A and B are shown apart, each in its own frame.
Chain A
């Protein structure tokens, strides 16, 4: 299935300014599989979302639709057919 990943402005330097990227993953995939596919296609983008052990970076939020995966099953959160993945910077910094 195709999953649309929405890219925040700060990371569009790695997507030729594309706001979205479509990745192909098997049906019934979870967030880890979608992010792994994204990272395989675009390593510089992928390592800004997840560290080398696959963990989502502390100040990055990933949503499946309107659900923050940290409030769901984390990286094991399922991505239903037709759902969109949002990558967003957390409100932090200084």
Chain B
């Protein structure tokens, strides 16, 4: 008797300046069905696919330029969305702050299926213990004495990266623009900067400050929690000691500016970036659409281009608009500010466009949902 193959469906959430689209594939990412927009043409800067529960839960942080931010979830793969009441993320009155935008939604570890983290503008970390229905402000970071010196980058003062430690729930790294990388080892009660070796070239007095860097994205592989990779506002770095010190791994890249840093889900030391010429010239080097991959933690970089546009290419990729799925042979995805989404089903070896002519893409997340 033939054994039935397990059902597999891959989903890509595509958050754009004007709404959320979903792309789904039932044939191992060979063909895609794109649907949208959802969430009322609001700006979707953060989204997540949480596959830990019996039913996948999708999250989206959407903002209207008129009506403000909101956070929603869907338990039916985007057919309907629920905005909890009261609002999941709401600054306490004594902070005198108001939520401007959700920048990051990060499901917690598999053994804590109700734990979800969020990062916001203004820079704050939020913890949910009811799978994203309500969040509590991390007071230790909010009260940090450095706060008054964190300055907004071009996109706003954002806490955009959350990296819970895969094995120790008391440890976590977060990253902000600006502010840099911070680390807690006491479950968020206190936070210390972790930027030694990361340049702040836009700072006049000290190019290697303790904090204040404009780190664009940080990533790490769960099997190598001591090893982190960072794409900085000028500079690409690796740390082998949990962020205590960083070394440049930009040699071999055509430029050290960019926004993305994605780790291969099954291969520690394999990372992907998309370089841009410089902070004052935010287009791909030589106007060519290229992804760069290192299989050895940043020592050697290889250009990945098969299937990507050969015409002159001027679009940029935002910090959360690149991701990997969790398939056995993982897919890599990125969306551009020119409204295209490109996918690779073979770890970046070859690419194809799965969506085009969307509003500018702000975030993509992919996962196996069926």
**Interfacial residues, chain A to chain B (CB-CB below 8 A):** 10-11, 13, 43-44, 47-49, 51-53, 55, 57, 59-60, 89-90, 92-93
In this complex, which of B40, B66, B85, B86 has the most chain A Cβ atoms within 10 angstroms of its Cβ? B66
Q: Which residue of A lies closest to B17 (CB)?
A: A94
A53 and B98 alpha carbons, distance in the complex (Å): 6
**Which of the four size classes fits the interface of chain B?**
10 to 19
Query: In the complex, are the beta carbons of A59 and B98 less than 8 A apart?
Result: no
8 of the cross-chain contacts (CB-CB < 8 Å) are A11-B67, A13-B40, A48-B66, A52-B99, A53-B97, A57-B66, A57-B68, A59-B66
Query: In the complex, are the beta carbons of B68 and A51 less than 8 A apart?
Result: yes
Task: Say yes or no for B83: interface residue by CB 8 A criterion.
Answer: yes
Least Cβ–Cβ distance between B251 and chain A, in angstroms: 40
Query: In the complex, are the beta carbons of A10 and B99 less than 8 A apart?
Result: no
Which segment of B88-96, B209-217, B258-266 sits at the interface?
B88-96
Q: Which residue of B lies closest to A51 (CB)?
A: B98
Query: In the complex, are the beta carbons of B67 and A60 less than 8 A apart?
Result: yes
| Overall SS of chain B's interface | loop
Query: In the complex, are the beta carbons of B66 and A92 less than 8 A apart?
Result: yes
Interface flags, B80-116, vs A, CB<8A=1, else 0: 0001011100110100111100000000000000000
On chain B, the residues within 8 Å of A57 by CB distance are 66-68
On chain B, the residues within 8 Å of A49 by CB distance are 67
A57 and B64 alpha carbons, distance in the complex (Å): 11
Least Cβ–Cβ distance between A93 and chain B, in angstroms: 5
Query: In the complex, are the beta carbons of B87 and A47 less than 8 A apart?
Result: yes
Query: In the complex, are the beta carbons of A10 and B90 less than 8 A apart?
Result: no
Least Cβ–Cβ distance between A6 and chain B, in angstroms: 16
In this complex, which of A11, A51, A57 has the most chain B Cβ atoms within 10 angstroms of its Cβ? A51
Query: In the complex, are the beta carbons of A59 and B90 less than 8 A apart?
Result: no
On chain B, the residues within 8 Å of A93 by CB distance are 65-66
Query: In the complex, are the beta carbons of B98 and A10 less than 8 A apart?
Result: no
Given A43-B85, A44-B83, A44-B85, A53 contacting B67 (CB threshold 8 A) = no
On chain A, the residues within 8 Å of B98 by CB distance are 51-53, 55
**Interfacial residues, chain B to chain A (CB-CB below 8 A):** 40, 64-68, 70, 83, 85-87, 90-91, 93, 96-99
Query: In the complex, are the beta carbons of B65 and A51 less than 8 A apart?
Result: no
On chain B, the residues within 8 Å of A51 by CB distance are 68, 98-99
Query: In the complex, are the beta carbons of A60 and B91 less than 8 A apart?
Result: no
On chain A, the residues within 8 Å of B91 by CB distance are 52-53
Given A11-B67, A57-B66, A93-B66, A43 contacting B86 (CB threshold 8 A) = yes
On chain A, the residues within 8 Å of B66 by CB distance are 10, 48, 57, 59-60, 89-90, 92-93
A19 and B97 alpha carbons, distance in the complex (Å): 31
Least Cβ–Cβ distance between B89 and chain A, in angstroms: 9
Q: Which residue of B lies closest to A45 (CB)?
A: B67
On chain B, the residues within 8 Å of A53 by CB distance are 91, 93, 96-98
A53 and B68 alpha carbons, distance in the complex (Å): 13
On chain B, the residues within 8 Å of A92 by CB distance are 65-66
Query: In the complex, are the beta carbons of A52 and B67 less than 8 A apart?
Result: no
On chain A, the residues within 8 Å of B87 by CB distance are 43, 47, 52
Least Cβ–Cβ distance between A65 and chain B, in angstroms: 22
In this complex, which of A10, A48, A52, A90 has the most chain B Cβ atoms within 10 angstroms of its Cβ? A52
Given A44-B83, A47-B87, A10 contacting B67 (CB threshold 8 A) = yes
Contacts A57-B68, A92-B66 given; 19 further ones with Cβ under 8 A?
A10-B66, A11-B67, A13-B40, A43-B87, A44-B83, A47-B87, A48-B66, A51-B98, A51-B99, A52-B90, A53-B93, A53-B97, A57-B66, A57-B67, A59-B66, A60-B67, A89-B66, A90-B66, A93-B66
